[in-house]
């Protein structure tokens, strides 16, 4: 039995990772306190592309991430079928694209092998006429298109559902509660100090503290005197208040990257950029250049894109694991769990990296480590 203000585990970060960890630990019967400094899911999770996707793109450099994402996406779809909806993409191919239609189709044939893991359908190849018939907004210059399928989700609802289920299993969950300090006893982390929006400070003791703070993971690591190095990468979206296209679309950017226009239930997200980020995580701005870069990429395949009125932008910073050299886009989306006992800091576990699509698996393995 733990004393009041004392828990088996304190989890820092109420994004999808922390909420998933809090739920998993509570289901195992541990007493849990989850702390989030803002709103649930208001960090990177809320500014994602809102997809439980397999990551077809990672097949080029990180096959295992695609496989694990598809596998875990399949579990999430099974557990929470009422939360997800199919997002069907057209991948239009233009003359002189980086990949011609044969290459794109071959790529999708490989991805088709993974689609059953997440209960999605295999690709279809469309002629230019067929593609323009189903989506008349496509450029008259396209040479054909290939379809592919992912799952859409409202990440805020997904996070909150995990928080609610954790609470239903006994967890305490506080948002607008910022961890300002870790309480130490020699080398061991034994709790946290946190500040709520009314300015008051509280303490909570725990046998283990989990650092699930997404891109803020290094900042929380510093509080424990351990270095967790990320290579944070910023991404933005343009938000339209309605659907622009019948289908979600791929486009190629000027530097050959894949861009996505995701047609969600009642709105459209057009994204995204992927740039190393060195600034203040609590104040990430969107520049006109970033917006223009996305529009430029899309008007090739969807010429009328600039006629539509966006209402806002979103921006988030990916908590990508550190690696020197690769371009941001080619960074692995793998995750890693650090038990800092190996750095002489007991009672402190960090979960870093990963993707929304794999949050359930990340939560399970983090809970195993705890
Ligand atoms: C543009 C973009 C598009 C993406 N699209 C997708 C996608 O479609 N599908 C997909 O699978 N992945 C996608 N990703 C990746 C995915 O969004 C992230 O990997 C995932 O959401 C990270 O979740 P998290 O909980 O680890 O981090 P976060 O969501 O950032 O959560 C960490 C939380 O910790 C809190 N916190 C920080 N410091 C403290 C503190 N001191 N005290 C208390 N709380 C604190 C923060 O407020 C934050 O809410 C995308 C990422 C970006 C940037």
DSSP string, 129-159: HHHHHH-TTS-TT--EEEEEEEEEE-HHHHH
Distance in Å, CA 134 to ligand 1 centroid: 35
Question: Is any ligand 1 atom within 6 A of the Cβ of residue 218?
Answer: no
Give yes or no for residue 37 CB within 6 A of ligand 1: yes
Is the beta carbon of 213 within 6 A of some atom in ligand 1? yes
H or E element, residue 224: none
Could you write out the three-class secondary structure of 252-278?
ECCCCCEEEEEECCCCEEEECCCEECC
pLDDT of 3: 61
Report the alpha-carbon distance of residue 258 to residue 368 in Å, rounded: 36
Residue nearest to atom 52 of ligand 1 (CA): 48
pTM of the shown model:
0.97
What ranges in the chain are assigned the alpha helix state H? 16-27, 63-79, 101-112, 128-134, 155-168, 217-223, 288-301, 359-369
Q: Is 42 in the pocket of ligand 1 (CB under 6 A)?
A: yes
- Site to probe by mutation for ligand 1, drawn from 355, 359, 362 as the one with most ligand atoms within 8 Å of Cβ, is 355
Give 310-349 as a DSSP string: --EEEEEEE-PBP-SSS-GGGS---EEEEEGGGGT-TTEE
Residue 14: predicted pLDDT: 98
**Sign of torsion over alpha carbons 117, 118, 122, 125:** negative
Q: Is beta strand 6-12 parallel, antiparallel or unpaired with respect to 201-211?
A: parallel
The preferred substitution site among 15, 24, 239 for testing ligand 1, maximizing ligand atoms within 8 Å of CB, is 15
Q: How far apart are CA 231 and CA 271, in angstroms?
A: 20
First-residue to last-residue Cα distance in the chain: 18
Closest CA to 106 of 87, 127, 123: 123
pLDDT at 60: 79
Mean pLDDT by 10 residues, the chain (370 residues): 80 98 98 98 98 83 88 93 96 92 94 94 97 97 97 97 98 98 96 95 98 98 97 98 96 94 95 96 97 97 98 98 88 92 96 96 98
Among the atoms of ligand 1, which is closest to the Cα of residue 159? 25
CB 88 within 8 A of CB 247: yes
- Are the C-beta atoms of residues 193 and 180 closer than 8 Å to each other? yes
Q: Please tell me the predicted confidence (pLDDT) of residue 65.
A: 87
C-beta of 316 in contact with ligand 1 (< 6 A): yes
What are the CA-CA distances from residue 44 to residues 38, 119, 150, 281, 333 (Å)? 12, 26, 20, 10, 14
Q: Whose CA is nearest to atom 48 of ligand 1?
A: 43
Name the residue of 43, 56, 262, 273 to mutate for ligand 1: max ligand atoms within 8 A of Cβ: 43
Q: What is the pLDDT of residue 341?
A: 96
Ligand 1 centroid, distance to 49 Cα (angstroms): 11
211 lines ligand 1 (CB under 6 A): no
For residue 354, the CA-to-ligand 1 centroid distance in Å is 9
Assess whether the C-beta atom of 320 lies below 6 angstroms from ligand 1.
no
Q: Which of 16, 23, 37, 48 to mutate to test the pocket of ligand 1 (most atoms within 8 A of CB)?
A: 48
Q: Is 221 in the pocket of ligand 1 (CB under 6 A)?
A: no
Residues 6 or more apart whose CB falls under 8 angstroms from that of 285 comprise: 315
Beta strand pairing status for 233-240 and 275-276?
antiparallel
Residues composing the chain: 370
pLDDT at 171: 98
pLDDT value at position 62? 83
Residue 290 Cβ contacting ligand 1 at under 6 Å? no
Gap from CA of 318 to ligand 1 centroid (Å): 7
The span from the CA of 265 to the CA of 240, in Å, is 12
Q: What was the pLDDT predicted at 209? A: 98
């Amino acid at each position: 039995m733990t004393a009041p203000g004392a828990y088996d585990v304190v989890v820092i970060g109420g994004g999808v990772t922390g909420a998933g960890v809090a739920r998993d630990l509570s289901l195992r019967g541990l007493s849990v306190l989850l702390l989030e400094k803002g709103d649930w899911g208001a960090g990177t999770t809320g500014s994602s592309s809102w997809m439980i996707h397999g990551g077809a793109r990672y097949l080029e450099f990180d096959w295992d991430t695609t496989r694990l994402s598809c596998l875990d996406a399949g579990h999430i779809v099974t557990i929470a079928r009422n939360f997800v909806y199919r997002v069907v993409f057209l991948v239009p191919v233009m003359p002189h694209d980086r990949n011609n239609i044969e290459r794109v189709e071959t790529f999708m044939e490989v991805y088709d092998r993974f689609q059953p893991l997440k209960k999605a359908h295999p690709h279809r190849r469309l002629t230019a006429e067929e593609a323009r018939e189903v989506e008349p907004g496509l450029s008259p210059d396209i040479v054909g298109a290939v379809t592919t399928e992912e799952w859409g989700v409202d990440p805020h609802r997904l996070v909150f559902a995990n928080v609610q289920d954790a609470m239903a299993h006994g967890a305490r969950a506080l948002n607008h509660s910022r961890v300002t300090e870790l309480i130490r006893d020699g080398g061991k982390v034994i709790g946290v100090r946190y500040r709520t929006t009314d300015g008051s400070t509280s303490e909570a003791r725990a046998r283990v503290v989990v650092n699930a703070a997404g891109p803020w993971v290094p900042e929380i690591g510093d509080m424990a005197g351990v270095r967790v190095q990320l290579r944070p990468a910023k991404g933005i979206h343009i938000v339209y208040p309605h659907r622009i296209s019948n289908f979600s679309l791929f486009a190629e950017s000027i530097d050959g990257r894949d861009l996505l226009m995701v047609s969600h239930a009642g709105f459209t997200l057009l994204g995204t950029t992927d740039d190393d980020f060195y600034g203040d995580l609590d104040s990430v701005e969107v520049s006109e250049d970033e917006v223009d870069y996305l529009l430029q990429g899309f008007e090739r395949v969807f010429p009328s894109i600039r006629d539509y009125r966006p209402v806002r932008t979103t921006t988030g910073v990916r908590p990508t694991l550190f690696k020197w050299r690769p371009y941001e886009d080619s960074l692995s989306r793998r995750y890693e769990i650090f038990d800092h006992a190996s750095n002489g800091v007991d009672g402190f576990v960090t979960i870093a990296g990963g993707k929304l699509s794999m949050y359930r698996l990340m939560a399970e393995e983090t809970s195993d480590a705890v």
